[in-house]
Amino acid sequence: MKNPLEIIKVKRAEAINRILGRGYFSTKRVYVGMATCEIAAGSADVMEIFQTAIKNGLVDVYLSQKGCAGRCNLEPTVEVIEEGKIPVKYGLVDAGRAHEIIERHLKKGEVIEEWVIQ
């Protein structure tokens, strides 16, 4: 039988692995708009593309959803936040744009100016 200190050490290690596994300490954060109106505009497909990229090896990216941004005419939206940089909000993100954001912005550091919401 383990003593209480050993149990705590195991629980702590499990918690740290969960935190790391979810990407909470990543230097890049991606938020996909998933309010009802954004889902109707196609954001669920966009979210799936980012999830697949992470499953297939896109590293150092934390992916989450965000609520309504009040910009229905620009949906679906994706926000990319990188450590030490100004956040970038992309509008009218479809599957093609999602792939481009992954390849150009997340992998190469290139902000795609023509899709940025001002």
pLDDT at 16: 85
Looking from the CA of 98 toward its CB, the CA atoms found within 13 Å total 25
Provide the sign of the torsion angle of the four alpha carbons 62, 39, 93, 88, taken in this order.
negative
Distance CA 37, CA 69 (A): 10
> How big is the chain by its Cα radius of gyration, in Å?
17
pLDDT in tens, 13-71: 888 888 777 777 789 999 999 999 999 999 999 999 999 999 999 999 999 999 988 88
> Phi and psi for 108 in degrees, rounded to 5?
-110, -5
State what percent of residues in the chain have pLDDT above 70: 100
pLDDT band at 92 (very low <50, low <70, confident <90, very high): very high
pLDDT at 20: 76
Surface-to-core class of residue 53, CB atoms within 10 Å of its CB (0-12 exposed, 13-18 middle, 19+ buried):
buried
Distance CA 84, CA 81 (A): 9
**pTM of the shown model:** 0.84
- In the numeric block, the tokens 């992954």 are attached to 102
Distance CA 24, CA 18 (A): 9
Confirm or reject CATH 1.10.4030.10 for domain 23-115, answering yes or no: no
